[in-house]
Amino acid sequence: MADYFRERRYLGARDRREISRMVYGTLRHGRQLDQLVQIACRQLPVPVDFTPPELSSLLVAAHEMHIEPGGAAETSAAPAEYISSSLAGKLPPEFPEILLACRIPADLLGSPLTRIAMVHSFPDSIIREWIERMGAEEAEELAASLNRQAPLAIRVNTLKGTVDQCRQLLAAAGVDSVKGTCSPFALVLSKRLTLENLRPYRDGMFEMQDEGSQLLSLLVHPQPGMTVIDACAGGGGKTLHLAALMQNRGRLVAIDVDDRRLRQLAERAARAGANVQIVLSAQRDSHAIARLRGKAHAVLVDAPCSAIGTVRRNPSLKDTYTEERSVQLNARQGQLLDAGAALVMPGGRLVYSTCTLIQKENEDVVSRFLAGHPEFSLQSSAEILTRWGIAVDRSSPYLQLYPHRTGTDGFFAAVMVREEGSV
């Protein structure tokens, strides 16, 4: 979609919003829409094969008819206008009415699990886990929240100024904002915009970052003068936050396996005025990593995961999730946590985090790690965040953010401390 817009700069803001709405809406509700299209096609006198673009056209049509009816659906031309003219030769003229009249069969909605999974277009295995964890009613609230558009949150770079100063600069640029409800460094913007057009962004005054993501850096609780390692830095959103919290004093090391993303981090760090040592997790930098062993006051392991907590921003993640892949990620996450633990000094802190809501990639990884590393003990995330004036659920030692409760993306984090005197 970004390429489509880039090649068609003549499209106005209204056209871009409408296209985005249809594309994201169709992806969010893909499972339900696919079922409706299948039901409609079974009523055709002769089976029809569709090309991928033709099938996409039918899914968008089903979305506009069943999920977000409006616009042309209220005119005399609807619903036929939603179906590409290229399908006119394949489908009978009454097909739009057939599709509009389709309903999901009752046998596919018979249990809470199958109904929630179909209506909100999630894999059965995810909904099953959420029902077992929180009950059907709240599981549906969570699924529904992940199908809504995420708010546009930013993190103010305190190396460049305060939250109030950033808000004033945005207002001068014509962008209204309100203070976040979770992170003390967050602002929520009133509208979507092109960042490169904003002077405050070009000057490094802020970064795009979900409020929940901002809390992960606060759990690291870095202090000026410390040695802090972001062991899975990626593009560096959390790294830059750590630099600001450390006031650019101390040693901050960013490690990742992806050289391309580290180059992006270097560019972002320069814009933010952040001092970061960048290390590629590869043979050429293996000695640099070895020299860090047991030297860090704090290590953040923001592990690769199935990212189900960010479905609001990337709805296609629902289609790529499998239980088999979650098992593979579980093994890799454990390896990364072991590697991160080796860098922590006695008395130091190890933070494990993901942006998924799957127990196998969260609690199970931490439990296995603690069983094999008795020198580490679990700490209360809520107590740490209280020091920042942030109130979260205190019923668990973990930080668990659910979009329907907090308005953030979904996150999990565990804080572990290495005992003094351990080797």
Catalytic residue numbers?
Answer: 355
Count other C-beta atoms under 10 Å from residue 336's C-beta. 19
Main-chain dihedrals φ then ψ at residue 174, nearest 5 degrees: 85, 20
Query: Closest by alpha carbon to 349, among 178, 197, 198, 222?
Result: 222
Query: Closest by alpha carbon to 213, among 58, 359, 377, 401?
Result: 401
Query: Closest by alpha carbon to 306, among 291, 290, 319?
Result: 319
Query: Closest by alpha carbon to 350, among 406, 403, 402, 422?
Result: 422
Give the span between the Cα atoms of 43 and 24, in whole angstroms.
28
Q: Which helix (H) or strand (E) holds 186?
A: strand 186-189
Concatenated DSSP letters of 256-313? ES-HHHHHHHHHHHHHHT---EEEESSGGGHHHHHTTTT-EEEEEEE-----GGGTTT
Question: Which residue's structure tokens are 């549906």?
Answer: 140
CB of 292 within 8 A of CB of 251?
no
Look up residue 190 and give its two tokens. Answer: 């009133």
